[in-house]
Amino acid sequence: MSLVAAQTPAPAAQNPPAPTTPAPAPTVPLPDIVHAWDDLVGDVIPNAPIDPVLKPPQLPVSHKPLDEFGNHFFFESRTEYIRQDAFFSGLPTTTGVINAPITNIFNPAGVPYPDAFQPSANSIYELINLGTRGWLSDRLNTNFTVRYREDLTHIDAGSEFQSPITAFPAARRFELLTGEIELHGESGDGALRNSTLSVGRLHEYSTDLASFDGVAFGDRIGKVSFSVFGGRRFTYFGDPVQRAIGGSEILFRLPHNTTLEYQNLFYVKGSHRVTLRKGWEKSITASSSLSMVGGHLTNSDTRLLWFPRDGKTTLRLGFQQELTDKDYVFDYTELARNNNPLFDSLLRLNLGQLTPFSQVFVDGRRDLITNRLRTGGSAIVRRLVPEALQGPFNDSFEDYRLNFQFYPWPKIETFWEYHLRDTHRRSPVGATAFDDVTIAGETREADFRGEIRHSFGHGRLTVSAGGFYRTIDLQDRFFYLPNTITKGVIGSFNFKFDSHTRVYFNYSLDRDFYVFQPDLSRAQTLRVGLIWRY
């Protein structure tokens, strides 16, 4: 039985064998058009090696915060050397001052004072602005601005080259203009995502420009923006008793492209301003403001701006009304008393009483002849209320300007302007007080100036030259100088070495300067500067 079982095949072996599936043929990729083209022209144009200049080696990039400092740091410096020269005719000034030694003997030729005839002066000016944007933290920005000025030449008392720097020891001054650390919010900070906190030496504008050492905070929540600031007022030329200063601003964005803004500033007195602005689709914007000082309404100002979308026309209209004499004659700092013994020993400058006035102005610009000609003009008319309260720094006048900017050829620009100002001053005849200066000053001024500018080397070098001609009528109680003439030439060039370095040269020459006529025959000023940016 075992033998039979061994010889009996399995049931599966009794079935016929399944047909065998042939193996698939290997897939041949279709020729790519790029490879086909390379095969066609490969033997025609030999492959050239890549120029190393076109493929510089890629250096590894470090992401450490200290190594990224250069990407967040900015630096700009402006250095300027100023040379001034005066050339005298030897004749006495209009006030009788002569260039002669001071003696104890009366000089019939005039009043000797040689210090007023200093022939030249040299000075240096340096301005540096530096800071960071987003270094160490995306929320952090810094900004610092310093200024240095020095008179390289000793300036005599009474010299025409005197400046505020002359009053300081060694005739030099180093000033920190801005020193600001700013923190701002980000998108994940909720209500503070649009906030900004600034600490340091700040400049904030509300009703006036406030300069102080302190803190400022601003934020925008929905359609409302606000800011508050406060600190200690800093000065460069005095020591005021009042130091505390502060203010705030709030802006409401109303429907129909309308905003309502309230600003205030507190220093000795409180200043307030409310402004309403409205915009229309056809590029028209109107604004109206009302100001108060110490609880008195002082000023109203209404303006209209038309700026079409083609950008070729601009028109501004305005009406300003000084309502009372309770406003500041100069600015809000004039009320501060000074602790500086030098300043307190001298008489204060009295600019006179502020007189209410009405003023209208219009200013327009228009591009013509396919943008090759740009013309513009302005007119300002002021009237005192009443006219009898006229003063040397507060008077009625009309001021007109007409200018043209013409591009005759590529890279050549010309500019021409005519200016006329008529001042309404009373006649000096009949003045009784010896020190009456209410009628002193200019009565008419007319000047014309022109300039041509040309650039070379794709704008790397710019050269300009021009001149001016001016006539002025002057009067006071003792002198009446009609048609005093001053004229001069100006020239400059500006060369850009690269994206970081620029040098410039400015020169001006005045002849027959009207204030010192006829003793000062001409005066010239030379400025050489270097601007460098990182």
Transcribe 292-325 into DSSP letters.
Answer: EETTEEEEEEEEEEE--TTSSEEEEEEEEEE--S
Q: Which residue has the higher pLDDT, 17 or 4?
A: 17
User: Residue 6 above 50 pLDDT?
Assistant: no
Does residue 457 fall inside a structural domain? Answer: no
pLDDT the model gives residue 13: 43
Residue 217 in any domain: the answer is yes
Residue 502 lies in a domain: no
Task: Assess whether pLDDT exceeds 50 at residue 11.
Answer: no
Instruction: Kindly state the average pLDDT of the residues 84-93.
Output: 83
**Total structural domains in the chain?**
1
pLDDT digits (tens, 9 = 90+) for 452-469: 999 998 889 999 999 999
Q: How confident is the model at residue 37 (pLDDT cuts 50, 70, 90)?
A: low
Q: Supply the pLDDT for residue 92.
A: 74
pTM score above 0.85 = no
Mean pLDDT of 508-528: 77
Chain center to CA of 141: 21
240 within some domain: yes
Q: Label residue 1 by pLDDT band (50, 70, 90).
A: very low
- pLDDT of 69 above 80: yes
Q: What is the pLDDT of residues 206-249, one digit of tens each?
A: 999 999 999 999 999 999 999 999 999 998 887 888 999 999 99
- What single string gives the DSSP state of each residue in 504-526? EEEEEEEES-GGGTTTEEEEEEE
Domain housing 269: 185-310+318-349
Average predicted confidence (pLDDT) for the chain: 84
For the four alpha carbons of 475, 480, 481 and 483, in that order, the dihedral sign comes to positive
Q: Is 199 inside a domain boundary? A: yes
Q: How confident is the model at residue 283 (pLDDT cuts 50, 70, 90)?
A: confident
Residues 6+ apart with CB under 8 A from 357: 321, 322, 382, 383, 384, 385, 394, 396
What is the per-residue pLDDT for 435?
A: 67
- Work out the pLDDT band at 63, boundaries 50, 70, 90: low
How far is the CA of 340 from the CAs of 171, 236, 238, 330, 508, in angstroms? 18, 12, 6, 20, 37
Tell me, yes or no, whether 22 lies in a domain.
no
Does residue 74 form part of some domain?
A: no
Domain for residue 18, yes or no?
Answer: no
Q: With beta carbons less than 8 A apart as the criterion, state whether 479 and 443 touch.
A: no
